[in-house]
Amino acid sequence: MTFPPSPSAVLAQVRIALDERSYPIAIGHGLLGDPTTWAGLPAASTALVVTNDTVAPLYLAPLRAALGHHYRRVLEVVLPDGEQHKDWATLNRIFDALLGAGCDRKTVLFALGGGVVGDMTGFAAACYMRGVPFVQVPTTLLAQVDSSVGGKTAINHPLGKNMVGAFYQPARVVCDLDTLRTLPPREFAAGLAEVIKYGPIADMAFLDWIEAQLPSLLARDAQALAHAVRRSCEIKALVVGQDERESGLRAILNFGHTFGHAIEAGLGYGAWLHGEAVGCGMVMGAELSHGLGLVDAAFVARLRRLVEAAGLPVRAPDLGAERWLALMRLDKKSEAGDIRFVVIESPGRAGVRPAPEPLVREVIARCCA
């Protein structure tokens, strides 16, 4: 199914300030198929678009046509869709395409798709010939508000999510809001989890706005979506600009992710969408914060109501306490085997700290009950 193109319009631009690695995030309508969107990128003779078999029928043709104004060759590689394919074998298909076409180190990669495509394309760009430019073209809400921004690239390992990867910044991020019209409801709800996340960790006024505008967001109102994407990117840009490689502050962006990644790995990648696991993980993280005496029960209940109203699960799968703990010890925030969690230290402010194992077990039991 295809949609008629919207008139091209950049509604907002957010900048990631990282000195020589700084780049813009363009947010608007009709951007993907507009040749002017792609002007000013590193000069090259070849572009390679990496996408998947769900997104390709919708958006590959207009992007290829637009890029044809700037590159002599526009190549493509279409990967299978799904988190379960975020692995070495699928990643190697990108390298096969690059090497098979004789691509040089100036070749520009374009990640057209959601978080899986963006993560794998970025990782391939970081590795191919020790680094080639790439551009994020996120087509899901989750990717537009989170995974396309900040330079985290990775593939999954059977023992843990995103455990093999690199920090590698894109040259540009282009968020065409029109692509959100084709998202299935479940995928759209998964993206809302990452929008909601920014409220408890950084901006309670934004959380108030999300609660008030949730019906408009679920109806995919263009104005509401534009604000949600812009504000999410602004918060993430502020955090990444201060801590690019997650040595401290940036870890707060992983609120709900320690529990969430355990859900994904424990059930098998793809059983729950990433945003579904994060939504449930945020409820568990709020319960843990309450158990540590940092927030009250009303805050936990408020977050649970919002996550549930967004169409996300709030009850965790019963993996067994030992399995839960083993998976969370593989989290990248863990130190010397001690699990460290992003907690809400007060509404609108987050931090990273360990938690007593008996309390963690209690939270797991309560949230799985």
Q: What is the pLDDT of residue 338?
A: 81
Is 120 inside any structural domain? yes
Higher pLDDT, 60 or 5: 60
Beta strand 340-346 with 349-354 is antiparallel
d(CA 140, CA 143) in angstroms, rounded, equals 5
Note whether 308 and 198 are same-domain residues.
yes
Average pLDDT over residues 168-196: 97
Contact indicator for 299, 307 with CB cutoff of 8 Å: no
List the domain range (segments joined by +) for residue 347: 185-368
pTM score over 0.85: yes
For 120-142, what is each residue's pLDDT tens digit?
999 999 999 999 999 999 999 99
Q: 317 in a domain, yes or no?
A: yes
- Do 175 and 314 share a domain, yes or no? no
Identify the domain boundary among 149, 182, 215: 182
- Residue pLDDT, tens place only, 254-306: 999 999 999 999 999 999 999 999 999 999 999 999 999 999 999 999 999 99
Q: pLDDT tens across 310-341, in order?
A: 999 999 999 999 999 999 998 877 776 689 99
Give pLDDT, residue 4.
59
Domain boundary pick from 182, 212, 229: 182
The CATH number of residue 119's host domain is 3.40.50.1970
Is residue 84 domain-shared with residue 132, that is, in the same domain? yes
Q: In this predicted model, what pLDDT tens digit does every residue of 11-27 receive, in sequence order?
A: 899 999 999 999 999 99
* Residue pLDDT, tens place only, 71-85: 999 999 999 999 999
Domain closes at, from 161, 182, 203: 182
- Mark 276-298 as b/e (b = at least 16 C-beta within 10 Å): bbbbbbbbbbbbbbbbbebbeee
pLDDT score recorded for residue 246: 84
* 192/227 same-domain check: yes
Residue where the block lists tokens 């590959």: 60
CATH number at residue 224: 1.20.1090.10
Instruction: Write out the catalytic residue numbers.
Output: 130, 152, 194, 236, 246, 250, 254, 257, 261, 274
Predicted confidence band of residue 5 (pLDDT cuts 50, 70, 90): low
